[in-house]
């Protein structure tokens, strides 16, 4: 038996549109990460980029369960003394809603150069409009 490795010409890329309105953040992020990696395809290989591009709209209207809206924190550290910045999910969602979904999906992708490449195929927008109409994205059930 031989191991099958997909060639560049065999990989068919698609573009999907996800409406995050009233969707639970974690479930949405896991579905988007699966599509970005291409795990639903027959030719999936963990070391290759066989996934599709994903466009997420209405990121500002995503839902979370429980008390996460007031208890979940996003931390950044500037490497200076006293440089720890902590923001609650509620504040981050109001200020930059695309960061919340991008951060959740990033945590579910491989921690390597391939993961960074896959994350570049994710486009997140806070509202209804997006500039990718020419790609004719197909709706993705989440």
Backbone angles phi and psi of 100, in degrees to 5: -65, -50
Q: Please state, in angstroms and rounded to a whole number, the distance separating the CA atoms of residues 90 and 26.
A: 16
pTM, two decimal places: 0.92
Contact between 77 and 83 (Cβ < 8 Å):
yes
For the chain, which domains are there?
A: 8-135 (3.90.1180.10)
Cα 30 to Cα 2, 6, 35, 136, 139: the distances in Å are 31, 24, 9, 23, 16
pLDDT in tens, 63-119: 999 999 999 999 999 999 999 999 999 999 999 999 999 999 999 999 999 999 999
Q: Please state, in angstroms and rounded to a whole number, the distance separating the CA atoms of residues 5 and 50.
A: 11
pLDDT in tens, 6-20: 899 999 999 999 999
Q: Please state, in angstroms and rounded to a whole number, the distance separating the CA atoms of residues 111 and 50.
A: 17
């Amino acid at each position: 038996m031989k191991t099958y490795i997909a060639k560049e010409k065999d990989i068919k890329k698609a573009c999907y549109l996800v409406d995050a309105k009233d969707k639970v953040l974690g479930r949405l992020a896991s579905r988007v990460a699966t599509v970005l990696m291409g795990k639903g395809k027959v030719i999936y290989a963990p070391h290759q980029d066989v996934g599709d591009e994903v466009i997420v709209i209405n990121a500002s209207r995503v839902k979370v369960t429980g008390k996460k809206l007031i208890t979940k924190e996003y931390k950044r550290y500037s490497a200076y003394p006293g440089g720890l910045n902590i923001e609650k999910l509620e504040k981050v969602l109001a200020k930059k809603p695309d960061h919340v979904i991008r951060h959740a999906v990033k945590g579910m992708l491989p921690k390597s150069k391939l993961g960074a490449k896959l994350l570049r195929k994710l486009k997140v927008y806070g509202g209804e409009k997006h500039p990718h109409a020419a790609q004719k994205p197909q709706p993705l059930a989440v």
